[in-house]
């Protein structure tokens, strides 16, 4: 569900959305643009980013690997150079991995940490001086499995637990300066994330069917339904909430 077009509460704001070429990141970039923000959408592949940019005039894109040397500084300086300020950093780019302990390998752990923990940390570090000026906000994407165990996905789950603890710790550290830090933790959401993790389309469908049975609302979220909450967490009218993890999973975390 895109933002209500009458709701222009982010007019004049500038947001960086990582992973904006697909899934939740694309829906978030569009929702922020519809709410009046200028958006820098970031990802590695240019073609999907350009499709996101085509959805709204307020979206510019930057094709870059956020794990690359110097990339976080380049992302932030591109947004600030283009629009002169930064109000919101949406640390959305992330990956999952199905990796039971018996199949654990070092490279997968290193890659998950680099994308899900190190890159968002360095982006937040680079963004901070600008967010201090605007009393801005950071929104980090976690997962239901950031606070629930995930059999066969321990390291993914661990990276999202790290995201949640960084969220709370940075929120406490920055509260006195007016910078808010929150997380949105989706449950299973229909995107290409499982294909990007190497599952076949059939295996991904099986997984969604299994999760749909378990989720109390028996609904797999769309990317727009998650973007709705990311946008709400950025709303300046909600400025008294910081250090929170809002779970958007149809009640999955409750079971």
Residue with Cβ nearer ligand NAP (52 or 137): 52
Supply the DSSP symbol for 167. H
Least Å distance between CB 159 and ligand NAP? Answer: 8
Q: Which of 156, 208, 210, 228 is catalytic?
A: 156
Distances (CA, A) of 109 to 36, 185, 191: 38, 21, 22
Binding ligand NAP (rule: CB under 6 A), the pick from 3, 37, 53, 115 is: 115
21 near ligand NAP, judged by CB under 6 A: yes
66 near ligand NAP, judged by CB under 6 A: yes
Of 16-24, 77-85, 171-179, 236-244, the window that binds ligand NAP (rule: CB under 6 A) is 16-24
Binding ligand NAP (rule: CB under 6 A), the pick from 17, 35, 38, 43 is: 43
Least Å distance between CB 171 and ligand NAP? Answer: 19
Q: What is the DSSP pairing of strand 38-43 with strand 59-63?
A: parallel
Least Å distance between CB 165 and ligand NAP? Answer: 16
**How far, in Å, CA of 255 to CA of 250, rounded?**
11
At residue 113's C-alpha, the angle toward residues 184 and 33, to 5°, is 40
Establish whether 156 is a catalytic residue. yes
**How far, in Å, CA of 164 to CA of 80, rounded?**
27
**How far, in Å, CA of 119 to CA of 72, rounded?**
7
E strands, 98-168, are 137-141
Of 43-51, 54-62, 102-110, 234-242, the window that binds ligand NAP (rule: CB under 6 A) is 43-51
Least Å distance between CB 100 and ligand NAP? Answer: 19
65 near ligand NAP, judged by CB under 6 A: yes
Residue 63's H or E segment, with its range, is strand 59-63
Please report, as residue ranges, which positions from 87 to 106 form the binding site for ligand NAP (by CB under 6 A): 92-96
Binding ligand NAP (rule: CB under 6 A), the pick from 22, 137, 167, 242 is: 22
Handedness of CA 230, 43, 200, 118 (dihedral sign): negative
**Could you count the other beta carbons within 10 Å of the beta carbon of residue 18?**
28
Which of these, 89, 52, 98, lies nearest to 207 by C-alpha position? 98
Please report, as residue ranges, which positions from 148 to 207 form the binding site for ligand NAP (by CB under 6 A): 186, 188-189, 191-193, 196
List, by residue number, the catalytic residues.
156
Q: Which residues bind ligand NAP (CB under 6 A)?
A: 18-19, 21-25, 42-45, 48, 65-67, 92-96, 115, 141, 143, 186, 188-189, 191-193, 196
């Amino acid at each position: 569900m895109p933002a209500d077009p009458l709701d222009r509460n982010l007019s004049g704001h500038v947001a960086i959305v990582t992973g904006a070429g697909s899934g939740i990141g694309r829906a978030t970039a569009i929702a922020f643009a519809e709410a009046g923000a200028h958006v820098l959408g970031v990802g590695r592949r240019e073609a999907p980013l350009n499709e996101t940019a085509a959805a709204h005039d307020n979206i510019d894109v930057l094709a870059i690997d956020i794990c690359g040397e110097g990339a976080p500084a380049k992302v932030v300086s591109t947004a600030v150079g283009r629009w002169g300020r930064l109000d919101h950093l949406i640390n959305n780019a992330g990956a999952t991995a199905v990796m039971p302990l018996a199949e654990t390998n070092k490279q997968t752990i290193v890659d998950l940490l680099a994308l899900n923990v190190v890159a968002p940390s360095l982006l937040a570090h680079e963004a901070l001086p600008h967010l201090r000026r605007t009393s801005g906000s950071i929104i980090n994407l976690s997962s239901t499995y950031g606070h629930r165990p995930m059999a066969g996905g321990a390291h993914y789950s661990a990276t999202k637990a790290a995201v949640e603890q960084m969220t709370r710790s940075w929120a406490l550290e920055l509260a006195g300066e007016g910078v808010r830090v929150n997380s949105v933790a989706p449950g299973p959401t229909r995107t290409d994330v499982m294909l990007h993790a190497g599952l076949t389309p059939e295996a991904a469908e099986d997984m969604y069917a299994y999760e749909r049975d378990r989720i109390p609302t028996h609904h797999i979220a769309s990317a727009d339904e998650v973007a709705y909450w990311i946008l709400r967490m950025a709303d300046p009218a909600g400025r008294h909430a910081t250090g929170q993890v809002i779970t958007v999973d149809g009640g999955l975390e409750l079971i």
